[in-house]
A and B are shown apart, each in its own frame.
Chain A
């Protein structure tokens, strides 16, 4: 049996309509997994889901809304339960990156970044775990960042939010392991997405200089690590933070 065959399984990717989330949705669907994708707005989301269904022959679901709002999150899982009666994989990916130097960090910035990256991840982890524990199996993959591991000047709030994701990964992995649910995190480095699109030529060169492999990563580089953690190749892996950064050191 091919451990990468995900036919019949169900994955939910938050922030799944673009960037790393979209790459994950494509790769999981390409391995036969039925996919629910979330985006903040409905614009283009149904088309994205239909595209996955058409290209890969899987069932899909489009779930629009803000991960930072608990009241919006729970109905997504009710919808997944109604459609499939199961959830095998959560890619807890939705996030925002807003830089801010110490001394220039507004309370609103803290709220926006922590609400989406930390609180939103907890809401989704909890709801997904409910569906997974009843089946006695599942894989939760939390998207953190190298900045959450190492820190980065100018990104104190983002670093705090992504460090929170690592903490919740360790704690939930311990709590959910006896129930058959694995919880891991992926920590991307410098990846070519909308989040870094406006970084500027000098900053881009400086970032490349921090990467051992000397190149920016592609979203699919991260998606391949997510596929590993979603699949039966990683059935004995939990409570880990997997760096996908080409040897980057900040």
Chain B
């Protein structure tokens, strides 16, 4: 796994408090009990800190899955393949 992909995955694991080997790629907002609105804001903060970016409100409201989160950080200039 590439370092930036690892960073994103780690942000999910830390914010949602799930096991390190959890299948975060399948997670959706409110699809698991750990990913509620409070955890969502922690996740946003974690992703912003991990990549030193600032997300828009539209990103915050639209980040409803790991896959979408991946797309959003790429749009903010993160090379997820690096």
**B49 and A74 contacting across the interface, CB-CB below 8 Å:** no
Cα–Cα distance between A249 and B48 once the two chains are bound (Å): 46
Q: Which of B45, B52, B57 contacts A133 (CB 8 A)?
A: B45
Interface residue? A126 (CB, 8 A):
yes
What does DSSP make chain B's interface, helix, strand, loop or mixed?
helix
B44 partner residues in chain A, CB cutoff 8 A: 130
For B48, the chain A residues whose CB sits under 8 A away are 134
Q: Which residues of B contact A131 (CB under 8 A)?
A: 54
Inter-chain contact total with CB atoms closer than 8 Å:
20
Q: Is A81 among interface residues, defined by CB-CB distance under 8 A?
A: yes
> Bound state CA distance, A133 and B60, in angstroms?
14
Q: Is the CB of A81 within 8 A of B57?
A: no
| A127 engages B45 (CB within 8 Å) | no
Query: Which residues of chain A from 21 to 38 have any CB-CB distance to chain B below 8 Å in the complex?
Result: none
Residues of B51-82 contacting chain A, CB below 8 A = 52, 54-57, 60
User: Does A158 count as interface, using CB distance less than 8 angstroms?
Assistant: no
A12 within 8 Å of B by Cβ? no
Q: Which residues of B contact A126 (CB under 8 A)?
A: 57
Do B49 and A127 have beta carbons less than 8 Å apart?
no
Q: How many residues from A make CB contacts under 8 Å with B?
A: 12
Decide if A77 is an interface residue (CB 8 Å cutoff): yes
B54 touches A81 (CB 8 A): yes
* Docked-complex contact B57 and A70, CB < 8 angstroms: yes
If A133-B45, A134-B45, A134-B49 touch, whether A78 touches B57 (CB-CB below 8 Å) is no
A131 to B55 alpha-carbon distance, docked (Å):
10
What are the residues of chain B within 8 A of A130 when measuring CB–CB?
44, 54-55, 60
Instruction: Please name all residues of chain B whose beta carbon is closer than 8 Å to the beta carbon of A133 when the two chains form the complex.
Output: 41, 45
A-B contact pairs, 20 of them (CB 8 A): A70-B57, A74-B56, A74-B57, A77-B54, A78-B54, A78-B56, A81-B54, A85-B52, A126-B57, A127-B57, A130-B44, A130-B54, A130-B55, A130-B60, A131-B54, A133-B41, A133-B45, A134-B45, A134-B48, A134-B49
The 10 closest A-B pairs by CB, nearest first: A81-B54, A134-B45, A74-B56, A134-B48, A78-B54, A134-B49, A74-B57, A133-B45, A77-B54, A126-B57
